[in-house]
Chains A and B, each alone.
Chain A
Amino acid sequence: MDAHPYAFLALFAAIAVAFPVILLSVAQLWFRFFQPAKPSADKGAAYECGVTPTGDSWIQFKAHYYLYAILFLIFDVELLFLLPFAVAFTGLSAGALATMLVFIFLLAEGLVWAWHRGHLEWK
Protein backbone atom coordinates (compact mmCIF):
# COMPACT_ATOMS: atom_id res chain seq x y z
CA MET A 1 0.00 0.00 0.00
CA ASP A 2 2.81 2.37 0.82
CA ALA A 3 3.85 3.92 -2.42
CA HIS A 4 7.40 5.10 -2.92
CA PRO A 5 7.61 8.78 -1.87
CA TYR A 6 9.23 9.77 -5.14
CA ALA A 7 6.46 8.04 -7.06
CA PHE A 8 4.16 10.63 -5.60
CA LEU A 9 6.51 13.40 -6.73
CA ALA A 10 6.42 11.98 -10.26
CA LEU A 11 2.63 11.65 -10.17
CA PHE A 12 2.41 15.21 -9.02
CA ALA A 13 4.65 16.42 -11.82
CA ALA A 14 2.30 14.66 -14.23
CA ILE A 15 -0.70 16.39 -12.65
CA ALA A 16 1.12 19.71 -12.79
CA VAL A 17 1.67 19.24 -16.53
CA ALA A 18 -1.79 17.82 -17.25
CA PHE A 19 -3.65 20.57 -15.42
CA PRO A 20 -2.56 23.54 -17.59
CA VAL A 21 -2.78 21.39 -20.74
CA ILE A 22 -6.39 20.45 -19.98
CA LEU A 23 -7.35 24.01 -19.08
CA LEU A 24 -5.70 25.43 -22.19
CA SER A 25 -7.43 22.90 -24.44
CA VAL A 26 -10.80 23.57 -22.81
CA ALA A 27 -10.19 27.27 -23.41
CA GLN A 28 -9.32 26.48 -27.04
CA LEU A 29 -12.58 24.56 -27.48
CA TRP A 30 -14.48 27.45 -25.97
CA PHE A 31 -12.87 29.88 -28.38
CA ARG A 32 -13.52 27.61 -31.34
CA PHE A 33 -17.26 27.31 -30.72
CA PHE A 34 -18.34 30.45 -28.89
CA GLN A 35 -15.71 33.10 -29.37
CA PRO A 36 -14.02 32.71 -32.75
CA ALA A 37 -10.69 34.50 -32.95
CA LYS A 38 -10.61 37.74 -34.87
CA PRO A 39 -7.01 38.04 -35.98
CA SER A 40 -5.72 41.21 -37.54
CA ALA A 41 -2.35 42.39 -38.78
CA ASP A 42 -1.97 44.78 -35.87
CA LYS A 43 -2.92 42.21 -33.27
CA GLY A 44 -0.47 39.68 -34.64
CA ALA A 45 2.46 42.11 -34.79
CA ALA A 46 5.31 42.04 -32.31
CA TYR A 47 4.70 44.46 -29.46
CA GLU A 48 7.09 47.38 -29.40
CA CYS A 49 5.33 50.00 -27.33
CA GLY A 50 2.60 50.47 -29.90
CA VAL A 51 4.79 51.62 -32.79
CA THR A 52 5.40 49.54 -35.91
CA PRO A 53 8.13 46.97 -35.21
CA THR A 54 11.42 47.87 -36.83
CA GLY A 55 14.20 45.58 -37.97
CA ASP A 56 14.82 41.99 -37.12
CA SER A 57 13.60 40.59 -33.83
CA TRP A 58 16.81 38.57 -33.51
CA ILE A 59 18.74 41.32 -31.83
CA GLN A 60 22.28 41.09 -30.58
CA PHE A 61 22.79 40.69 -26.88
CA LYS A 62 25.80 40.60 -24.65
CA ALA A 63 27.93 37.48 -24.70
CA HIS A 64 28.47 38.25 -21.03
CA TYR A 65 25.34 36.29 -20.14
CA TYR A 66 27.16 33.17 -21.26
CA LEU A 67 30.07 33.91 -18.94
CA TYR A 68 27.69 34.02 -16.02
CA ALA A 69 26.10 30.78 -17.18
CA ILE A 70 29.48 29.02 -17.35
CA LEU A 71 30.49 30.35 -13.93
CA PHE A 72 27.16 29.21 -12.55
CA LEU A 73 27.67 25.73 -13.94
CA ILE A 74 31.04 25.38 -12.23
CA PHE A 75 29.82 26.66 -8.88
CA ASP A 76 26.60 24.69 -9.01
CA VAL A 77 28.37 21.38 -9.54
CA GLU A 78 30.69 22.20 -6.65
CA LEU A 79 27.72 23.13 -4.48
CA LEU A 80 26.21 19.75 -5.16
CA PHE A 81 29.16 18.18 -3.36
CA LEU A 82 28.66 20.46 -0.36
CA LEU A 83 25.16 19.12 0.34
CA PRO A 84 26.23 15.54 1.18
CA PHE A 85 29.00 17.14 3.23
CA ALA A 86 26.38 19.01 5.25
CA VAL A 87 24.35 15.84 5.78
CA ALA A 88 27.31 13.72 6.87
CA PHE A 89 29.04 16.58 8.65
CA THR A 90 29.19 15.40 12.24
CA GLY A 91 30.25 11.87 11.41
CA LEU A 92 33.36 13.14 9.67
CA SER A 93 36.87 12.87 11.04
CA ALA A 94 39.10 15.89 11.43
CA GLY A 95 40.96 14.90 8.26
CA ALA A 96 37.78 14.76 6.20
CA LEU A 97 36.76 18.10 7.60
CA ALA A 98 40.09 19.61 6.60
CA THR A 99 39.67 18.13 3.10
CA MET A 100 36.26 19.73 2.86
CA LEU A 101 37.67 23.06 3.97
CA VAL A 102 40.24 22.79 1.18
CA PHE A 103 37.37 22.08 -1.22
CA ILE A 104 35.49 25.18 -0.06
CA PHE A 105 38.76 27.09 -0.36
CA LEU A 106 39.03 25.95 -3.99
CA LEU A 107 35.46 27.13 -4.56
CA ALA A 108 36.31 30.51 -3.10
CA GLU A 109 39.55 30.61 -5.07
CA GLY A 110 37.62 30.11 -8.32
CA LEU A 111 35.43 33.03 -7.38
CA VAL A 112 38.46 35.18 -6.59
CA TRP A 113 40.02 34.24 -9.94
CA ALA A 114 36.87 35.14 -11.89
CA TRP A 115 36.61 38.35 -9.91
CA HIS A 116 40.23 39.24 -10.57
CA ARG A 117 39.83 38.59 -14.30
CA GLY A 118 36.88 40.99 -14.29
CA HIS A 119 34.33 38.36 -15.31
CA LEU A 120 32.01 39.40 -12.52
CA GLU A 121 31.88 43.00 -13.67
CA TRP A 122 28.84 43.80 -15.76
CA LYS A 123 30.31 45.90 -18.57
Chain B
Amino acid sequence: MSDFFFQLHPVIQGLIKGLAVIAVIFPIAGICSMAERKVSAWIQGRPGPNRAIPFWFAWVPVLGPFLQRLGIFHVMADGGKMLFKEDSLPGHVNKFYFILAPIVAMMPALTTVTAVPFGAYFDPAGRTIPLGLAPVDVGLLAVFAVSSLGVYSLILAGWASNSKYPFLGGVRASAQLISYELSLTLSVIPVFLWINAPGTEGTMSLARAVEFQSQPGFLGGTWFIFLMPVSALVFLISLFAETNRLPFDMAEGEADLVGGFHTEYGAFKWGLFFVAEYSHMLIGSGIFTLLFLGGWNPLPWLSLGQFAALLHVAHLPLAVGVLSIVIFLGKVLAMIFFFMWVRWTVPRFRYDQVMKLGWQKLLPLAIANLLFYAIAIAVIQK
Protein backbone atom coordinates (compact mmCIF):
# COMPACT_ATOMS: atom_id res chain seq x y z
CA MET B 1 0.00 0.00 0.00
CA SER B 2 2.66 2.48 1.03
CA ASP B 3 4.87 1.36 -1.88
CA PHE B 4 2.04 2.06 -4.26
CA PHE B 5 1.68 5.55 -2.79
CA PHE B 6 5.36 6.39 -3.15
CA GLN B 7 5.41 5.19 -6.78
CA LEU B 8 2.90 7.86 -7.74
CA HIS B 9 3.99 11.08 -9.36
CA PRO B 10 5.11 13.63 -6.69
CA VAL B 11 2.42 16.09 -7.80
CA ILE B 12 -0.29 13.46 -7.32
CA GLN B 13 1.21 12.53 -3.95
CA GLY B 14 1.07 16.19 -3.03
CA LEU B 15 -2.53 16.47 -4.14
CA ILE B 16 -3.50 13.44 -2.05
CA LYS B 17 -1.69 14.84 0.99
CA GLY B 18 -3.36 18.20 0.41
CA LEU B 19 -6.82 16.69 0.29
CA ALA B 20 -6.00 14.68 3.40
CA VAL B 21 -5.05 17.85 5.27
CA ILE B 22 -8.24 19.58 4.15
CA ALA B 23 -10.21 16.51 5.19
CA VAL B 24 -8.60 16.72 8.64
CA ILE B 25 -8.65 20.49 9.17
CA PHE B 26 -12.30 21.08 8.21
CA PRO B 27 -13.82 18.53 10.62
CA ILE B 28 -11.46 19.63 13.39
CA ALA B 29 -12.55 23.23 12.86
CA GLY B 30 -16.16 22.11 12.98
CA ILE B 31 -15.61 20.10 16.14
CA CYS B 32 -13.73 23.04 17.67
CA SER B 33 -16.72 25.27 17.03
CA MET B 34 -18.93 22.79 18.81
CA ALA B 35 -16.40 22.39 21.62
CA GLU B 36 -16.28 26.17 21.92
CA ARG B 37 -20.04 26.33 22.45
CA LYS B 38 -19.99 23.43 24.87
CA VAL B 39 -17.01 24.77 26.84
CA SER B 40 -18.60 28.22 27.07
CA ALA B 41 -21.81 26.62 28.28
CA TRP B 42 -19.91 24.59 30.82
CA ILE B 43 -18.02 27.63 32.12
CA GLN B 44 -21.21 29.67 32.33
CA GLY B 45 -23.16 26.82 33.95
CA ARG B 46 -25.76 26.21 31.24
CA PRO B 47 -26.42 23.13 29.11
CA GLY B 48 -25.35 24.52 25.76
CA PRO B 49 -26.51 23.20 22.37
CA ASN B 50 -28.38 19.93 22.98
CA ARG B 51 -31.43 19.91 20.72
CA ALA B 52 -30.66 19.07 17.09
CA ILE B 53 -30.98 15.42 16.06
CA PRO B 54 -32.02 13.90 12.73
CA PHE B 55 -35.28 11.98 13.14
CA TRP B 56 -33.78 8.72 11.88
CA PHE B 57 -31.01 8.92 14.48
CA ALA B 58 -33.40 9.50 17.38
CA TRP B 59 -34.37 5.82 17.21
CA VAL B 60 -30.84 4.66 18.14
CA PRO B 61 -31.26 3.78 21.83
CA VAL B 62 -28.36 5.03 24.00
CA LEU B 63 -26.04 6.61 21.46
CA GLY B 64 -28.68 8.90 19.93
CA PRO B 65 -29.62 10.87 23.07
CA PHE B 66 -25.94 10.94 24.13
CA LEU B 67 -24.80 12.50 20.85
CA GLN B 68 -27.80 14.82 20.97
CA ARG B 69 -26.80 16.11 24.39
CA LEU B 70 -23.22 16.43 23.16
CA GLY B 71 -24.45 18.76 20.40
CA ILE B 72 -22.76 16.84 17.59
CA PHE B 73 -25.65 17.39 15.20
CA HIS B 74 -25.53 21.14 15.67
CA VAL B 75 -22.19 21.07 13.86
CA MET B 76 -23.78 19.32 10.89
CA ALA B 77 -26.76 21.64 10.94
CA ASP B 78 -24.44 24.65 11.03
CA GLY B 79 -22.35 23.25 8.19
CA GLY B 80 -25.42 22.55 6.08
CA LYS B 81 -26.80 25.99 6.74
CA MET B 82 -23.45 27.57 5.86
CA LEU B 83 -23.42 25.78 2.50
CA PHE B 84 -27.02 26.28 1.45
CA LYS B 85 -28.11 29.66 2.70
CA GLU B 86 -28.24 32.50 0.23
CA ASP B 87 -24.80 33.89 -0.43
CA SER B 88 -25.84 37.48 -0.81
CA LEU B 89 -23.40 39.87 -2.39
CA PRO B 90 -24.29 43.33 -1.05
CA GLY B 91 -24.55 45.98 -3.73
CA HIS B 92 -22.04 48.38 -2.21
CA VAL B 93 -19.01 46.05 -2.00
CA ASN B 94 -16.02 45.88 -4.28
CA LYS B 95 -16.91 42.49 -5.72
CA PHE B 96 -13.50 41.21 -6.81
CA TYR B 97 -11.70 41.88 -3.53
CA PHE B 98 -14.77 40.92 -1.52
CA ILE B 99 -14.60 37.41 -2.99
CA LEU B 100 -10.81 37.32 -2.95
CA ALA B 101 -10.50 38.04 0.80
CA PRO B 102 -11.80 34.69 2.14
CA ILE B 103 -9.66 32.84 -0.39
CA VAL B 104 -6.61 34.78 0.80
CA ALA B 105 -7.60 33.89 4.37
CA MET B 106 -7.56 30.18 3.60
CA MET B 107 -4.21 30.26 1.81
CA PRO B 108 -1.86 30.78 4.80
CA ALA B 109 -4.12 28.73 7.05
CA LEU B 110 -3.74 25.64 4.91
CA THR B 111 -0.21 26.21 3.64
CA THR B 112 1.44 26.54 7.05
CA VAL B 113 0.28 23.02 7.95
CA THR B 114 2.92 21.64 5.61
CA ALA B 115 5.82 22.96 7.68
CA VAL B 116 4.55 21.66 11.02
CA PRO B 117 5.73 18.15 11.93
CA PHE B 118 3.02 16.27 13.82
CA GLY B 119 4.69 13.08 14.94
CA ALA B 120 7.78 10.91 14.67
CA TYR B 121 8.89 7.31 14.43
CA PHE B 122 12.21 5.50 14.78
CA ASP B 123 13.88 3.85 11.81
CA PRO B 124 15.78 0.54 12.33
CA ALA B 125 18.98 2.47 13.04
CA GLY B 126 17.28 4.19 15.96
CA ARG B 127 17.17 7.64 14.42
CA THR B 128 14.10 9.79 14.88
CA ILE B 129 12.26 10.49 11.64
CA PRO B 130 9.75 13.32 12.00
CA LEU B 131 6.41 12.96 10.27
CA GLY B 132 5.48 16.03 8.32
CA LEU B 133 4.14 17.01 4.95
CA ALA B 134 7.11 19.00 3.67
CA PRO B 135 10.47 18.49 5.38
CA VAL B 136 11.35 22.16 5.07
CA ASP B 137 14.65 23.01 6.67
CA VAL B 138 13.62 26.53 7.62
CA GLY B 139 10.50 25.17 9.37
CA LEU B 140 9.48 27.95 11.66
CA LEU B 141 10.62 30.69 9.29
CA ALA B 142 8.34 29.30 6.58
CA VAL B 143 5.44 29.23 9.02
CA PHE B 144 6.03 32.84 10.10
CA ALA B 145 6.53 34.02 6.53
CA VAL B 146 3.36 32.43 5.20
CA SER B 147 1.15 33.05 8.20
CA SER B 148 1.90 36.77 8.20
CA LEU B 149 0.17 36.91 4.81
CA GLY B 150 -3.03 36.36 6.75
CA VAL B 151 -3.16 40.06 7.54
CA TYR B 152 -3.96 40.78 3.90
CA SER B 153 -7.22 38.89 4.12
CA LEU B 154 -8.37 41.06 7.03
CA ILE B 155 -7.49 44.34 5.40
CA LEU B 156 -8.92 43.24 2.03
CA ALA B 157 -12.15 42.10 3.64
CA GLY B 158 -12.44 45.30 5.63
CA TRP B 159 -11.69 47.54 2.68
CA ALA B 160 -13.71 45.70 0.04
CA SER B 161 -16.80 45.62 2.25
CA ASN B 162 -17.09 49.38 1.72
CA SER B 163 -18.89 49.80 4.99
CA LYS B 164 -17.94 51.52 8.24
CA TYR B 165 -17.61 48.74 10.79
CA PRO B 166 -15.77 46.25 8.60
CA PHE B 167 -13.36 48.94 7.54
CA LEU B 168 -12.54 49.92 11.13
CA GLY B 169 -12.30 46.26 12.10
CA GLY B 170 -9.89 45.51 9.28
CA VAL B 171 -7.61 48.46 10.04
CA ARG B 172 -7.57 47.72 13.75
CA ALA B 173 -6.93 44.03 13.27
CA SER B 174 -4.07 44.55 10.85
CA ALA B 175 -2.37 47.05 13.19
CA GLN B 176 -2.77 44.54 16.01
CA LEU B 177 -1.44 41.62 13.99
CA ILE B 178 1.69 43.40 12.85
CA SER B 179 2.38 44.71 16.36
CA TYR B 180 2.32 41.29 17.97
CA GLU B 181 4.20 39.62 15.15
CA LEU B 182 7.38 41.33 16.41
CA SER B 183 7.10 39.89 19.91
CA LEU B 184 6.16 36.50 18.47
CA THR B 185 9.30 36.30 16.35
CA LEU B 186 11.57 37.73 19.05
CA SER B 187 10.31 35.28 21.65
CA VAL B 188 11.36 32.18 19.69
CA ILE B 189 14.91 33.36 18.92
CA PRO B 190 16.26 32.25 22.37
CA VAL B 191 14.97 28.73 21.66
CA PHE B 192 16.99 28.58 18.47
CA LEU B 193 20.02 30.11 20.15
CA TRP B 194 19.85 27.18 22.55
CA ILE B 195 19.22 24.54 19.88
CA ASN B 196 22.04 25.58 17.60
CA ALA B 197 24.63 24.26 19.99
CA PRO B 198 28.27 23.77 18.90
CA GLY B 199 28.85 20.84 16.60
CA THR B 200 25.35 20.89 15.12
CA GLU B 201 24.14 22.26 11.85
CA GLY B 202 22.33 25.54 12.15
CA THR B 203 18.63 24.98 11.79
CA MET B 204 15.21 26.55 12.19
CA SER B 205 13.50 23.18 12.01
CA LEU B 206 10.69 22.52 14.46
CA ALA B 207 11.46 18.80 14.60
CA ARG B 208 14.97 19.63 15.88
CA ALA B 209 13.40 21.65 18.69
CA VAL B 210 11.49 18.57 19.79
CA GLU B 211 14.57 16.39 19.48
CA PHE B 212 16.33 18.76 21.84
CA GLN B 213 13.62 18.28 24.42
CA SER B 214 13.83 14.49 24.23
CA GLN B 215 17.47 13.98 25.17
CA PRO B 216 18.52 11.96 28.20
CA GLY B 217 19.58 13.76 31.34
CA PHE B 218 17.98 16.49 33.43
CA LEU B 219 18.72 19.47 31.19
CA GLY B 220 18.22 17.49 27.98
CA GLY B 221 14.74 16.32 28.87
CA THR B 222 13.57 19.69 30.14
CA TRP B 223 10.81 21.24 28.11
CA PHE B 224 11.62 24.73 26.95
CA ILE B 225 8.68 26.15 28.88
CA PHE B 226 10.68 25.49 32.07
CA LEU B 227 13.95 26.58 30.57
CA MET B 228 12.60 29.77 28.98
CA PRO B 229 9.38 30.69 30.77
CA VAL B 230 9.51 34.32 29.62
CA SER B 231 9.81 33.28 25.98
CA ALA B 232 6.89 30.91 26.38
CA LEU B 233 4.77 33.58 28.04
CA VAL B 234 5.50 36.20 25.37
CA PHE B 235 4.88 33.66 22.63
CA LEU B 236 1.58 32.57 24.16
CA ILE B 237 0.26 36.11 24.60
CA SER B 238 1.31 37.05 21.08
CA LEU B 239 -0.36 33.89 19.81
CA PHE B 240 -3.65 34.97 21.33
CA ALA B 241 -3.27 38.32 19.61
CA GLU B 242 -2.22 36.80 16.28
CA THR B 243 -5.18 34.46 16.16
CA ASN B 244 -7.58 37.28 17.07
CA ARG B 245 -8.83 35.41 20.06
CA LEU B 246 -10.24 37.06 23.13
CA PRO B 247 -8.99 38.99 25.08
CA PHE B 248 -7.50 40.45 21.87
CA ASP B 249 -10.70 40.28 19.90
CA MET B 250 -10.15 43.62 18.14
CA ALA B 251 -10.85 42.31 14.63
CA GLU B 252 -14.37 41.27 15.44
CA GLY B 253 -15.05 43.26 18.58
CA GLU B 254 -18.75 42.39 18.83
CA ALA B 255 -19.34 45.05 21.44
CA ASP B 256 -18.22 48.04 19.39
CA LEU B 257 -17.79 46.88 15.77
CA VAL B 258 -20.72 44.47 15.32
CA GLY B 259 -18.75 41.71 13.56
CA GLY B 260 -15.62 43.58 12.58
CA PHE B 261 -14.06 42.80 9.24
CA HIS B 262 -16.55 40.08 8.31
CA THR B 263 -19.75 41.99 9.12
CA GLU B 264 -20.86 42.01 5.48
CA TYR B 265 -19.98 38.37 4.85
CA GLY B 266 -22.35 35.47 5.00
CA ALA B 267 -22.79 31.83 4.06
CA PHE B 268 -19.77 30.00 2.76
CA LYS B 269 -17.47 33.01 2.44
CA TRP B 270 -17.93 33.68 6.14
CA GLY B 271 -17.34 30.00 6.77
CA LEU B 272 -13.95 30.23 5.09
CA PHE B 273 -12.90 33.00 7.50
CA PHE B 274 -14.14 30.89 10.35
CA VAL B 275 -12.22 27.78 9.30
CA ALA B 276 -9.13 29.92 8.69
CA GLU B 277 -9.33 31.29 12.24
CA TYR B 278 -9.58 27.84 13.74
CA SER B 279 -6.78 26.43 11.63
CA HIS B 280 -4.61 29.37 12.70
CA MET B 281 -5.38 28.39 16.28
CA LEU B 282 -4.54 24.77 15.54
CA ILE B 283 -1.22 25.61 13.91
CA GLY B 284 -0.33 28.17 16.56
CA SER B 285 -1.04 25.66 19.32
CA GLY B 286 0.96 23.08 17.39
CA ILE B 287 3.99 25.36 17.20
CA PHE B 288 3.71 26.25 20.87
CA THR B 289 3.55 22.54 21.67
CA LEU B 290 6.56 21.74 19.50
CA LEU B 291 8.71 24.58 20.80
CA PHE B 292 7.80 24.77 24.46
CA LEU B 293 5.77 21.72 25.47
CA GLY B 294 8.04 18.96 24.23
CA GLY B 295 6.16 18.13 21.03
CA TRP B 296 5.38 14.43 20.96
CA ASN B 297 7.13 13.57 24.23
CA PRO B 298 4.54 12.47 26.76
CA LEU B 299 6.05 14.04 29.88
CA PRO B 300 9.05 16.18 30.76
CA TRP B 301 12.08 13.90 31.24
CA LEU B 302 10.17 11.03 29.61
CA SER B 303 10.84 11.02 25.88
CA LEU B 304 8.83 9.29 23.20
CA GLY B 305 11.55 6.64 22.85
CA GLN B 306 11.51 5.77 26.55
CA PHE B 307 7.73 5.78 26.61
CA ALA B 308 7.55 3.47 23.58
CA ALA B 309 10.10 1.16 25.21
CA LEU B 310 7.94 1.07 28.35
CA LEU B 311 5.01 -0.04 26.22
CA HIS B 312 7.25 -2.51 24.30
CA VAL B 313 6.42 -0.96 20.91
CA ALA B 314 9.69 0.86 20.17
CA HIS B 315 10.55 -1.54 17.32
CA LEU B 316 7.20 -0.97 15.52
CA PRO B 317 7.44 2.23 13.45
CA LEU B 318 3.70 2.32 12.86
CA ALA B 319 2.81 2.02 16.55
CA VAL B 320 5.36 4.68 17.54
CA GLY B 321 4.08 6.97 14.78
CA VAL B 322 0.47 6.64 15.90
CA LEU B 323 1.48 7.06 19.54
CA SER B 324 3.41 10.24 18.78
CA ILE B 325 0.56 11.69 16.72
CA VAL B 326 -1.91 10.92 19.52
CA ILE B 327 0.32 12.58 22.14
CA PHE B 328 0.92 15.60 19.93
CA LEU B 329 -2.76 16.03 19.02
CA GLY B 330 -3.71 15.60 22.67
CA LYS B 331 -1.44 18.48 23.65
CA VAL B 332 -2.72 20.63 20.79
CA LEU B 333 -6.33 20.02 21.76
CA ALA B 334 -5.47 20.80 25.39
CA MET B 335 -4.00 24.10 24.16
CA ILE B 336 -7.21 24.81 22.23
CA PHE B 337 -9.20 24.12 25.36
CA PHE B 338 -6.95 26.65 27.09
CA PHE B 339 -7.77 29.17 24.34
CA MET B 340 -11.47 28.67 25.00
CA TRP B 341 -11.04 28.77 28.75
CA VAL B 342 -9.27 32.13 28.48
CA ARG B 343 -11.92 33.42 26.10
CA TRP B 344 -14.70 32.84 28.60
CA THR B 345 -12.73 33.96 31.64
CA VAL B 346 -10.82 37.12 30.77
CA PRO B 347 -12.61 40.32 29.69
CA ARG B 348 -11.68 42.06 26.44
CA PHE B 349 -9.01 44.73 26.32
CA ARG B 350 -9.57 48.22 24.99
CA TYR B 351 -7.67 49.03 21.82
CA ASP B 352 -5.22 51.39 23.54
CA GLN B 353 -4.50 48.66 26.09
CA VAL B 354 -3.79 46.18 23.31
CA MET B 355 -1.30 48.52 21.66
CA LYS B 356 0.29 49.40 24.99
CA LEU B 357 0.72 45.75 25.95
CA GLY B 358 2.20 44.90 22.56
CA TRP B 359 4.64 47.76 22.11
CA GLN B 360 5.47 48.91 25.63
CA LYS B 361 5.41 45.66 27.58
CA LEU B 362 5.88 42.57 25.41
CA LEU B 363 8.37 44.00 22.91
CA PRO B 364 10.85 45.34 25.54
CA LEU B 365 10.37 42.14 27.52
CA ALA B 366 11.13 40.04 24.46
CA ILE B 367 14.24 42.08 23.63
CA ALA B 368 15.49 41.84 27.23
CA ASN B 369 14.79 38.11 27.20
CA LEU B 370 16.74 37.69 23.98
CA LEU B 371 19.71 39.65 25.36
CA PHE B 372 19.67 37.63 28.57
CA TYR B 373 19.73 34.28 26.79
CA ALA B 374 22.27 35.40 24.17
CA ILE B 375 24.70 36.45 26.89
CA ALA B 376 23.92 33.50 29.18
CA ILE B 377 24.39 30.90 26.44
CA ALA B 378 27.58 32.58 25.24
CA VAL B 379 28.98 32.56 28.78
CA ILE B 380 28.03 28.91 29.37
CA GLN B 381 29.64 27.75 26.17
CA LYS B 382 32.83 29.78 26.33
Contact = CB atoms under 8 A, between A and B. Distances in A.
Please determine whether chains A and B interact with each other in the same assembly.
yes
Q: Which one of B87, B115, B174 has the highest number of Cβ atoms from chain A below 10 Å of its Cβ?
A: B87
Given A49-B258, A122-B352, A75 B182 contact: yes
Given A65-B175, A86-B189, A87-B196, A48 B367 contact: no
A82 B189 contact: yes
B125 to A, nearest CB: 19
A12 B17 CA distance: 9
B175 A57 contact: no
Interface string A1-45: 101011111011101110111011001101100010111000111
A1 B10 contact: yes
Contacts of B91: 39, 44-45
Nearest to A120: B359
Given A31-B86, A111-B367, A120-B355, A57 B202 contact: no
**Looking at chain B, what size class is its interface with the partner chain?**
35 or more
Given A72-B179, A90-B197, A44 B88 contact: yes
A46 B94 CA distance: 12
A12 B14 contact: yes
B211 interface: no
Nearest to A88: B202
A16 B110 contact: yes
B163 A47 contact: yes
A20 B198 CA distance: 45
Given A16-B111, A45-B92, A100-B374, A9 B142 contact: yes
B355 A20 contact: no
Most chain B CB within a 10 A radius of its CB, from A31, A90, A121: A90
B171 A57 contact: no
A89 B377 contact: yes
A101 B371 contact: yes
Contacts of B102: 20, 24
A5 B137 CA distance: 8
Contacts of B202: 87-89, 91
Interface string B93-131: 000000100110011111101110000000000000000
Given A91-B198, A120-B359, A9 B115 contact: yes
Interface in B244-258: 258
Interface stretch (B58-66, B262-270, B305-313): B262-270
Interface in A76-104: 76, 79, 82-83, 85-91, 94, 97, 100-101, 104
B55 interface: no
> How many A residues touch the partner, as a band?
35 or more
Contacts, number: 215
B325 to A, nearest CB: 19
Contacts of B318: none
Interface in B326-374: 351-352, 355-356, 359-360, 363-364, 367, 370-371, 374
B171 to A, nearest CB: 5
A30 to B, nearest CB: 8
Most chain A Cβ neighbours within 10 Å, of B19, B108, B114, B381: B114
Interface string B12-30: 0011011101100000000
A58 to B, nearest CB: 8
A45 B364 CA distance: 45
Which residue, of A23, A45, A97, has the highest number of chain B Cβ atoms within 10 A? A23
B164 interface: yes
A11 B162 contact: no
Contact of B90 (A8, A16, A44): A44
Contacts of B197: 90
A25 to B, nearest CB: 10
Given A48-B164, A48-B165, A13 B22 contact: no
Of all A-B residue pairs in the complex, the 3 with the closest CB atoms, nearest first, are A87-B202, A16-B110, A122-B352
12 contacts: A12-B17, A13-B107, A15-B15, A15-B22, A24-B268, A48-B164, A49-B258, A61-B171, A82-B186, A87-B204, A104-B371, A111-B359
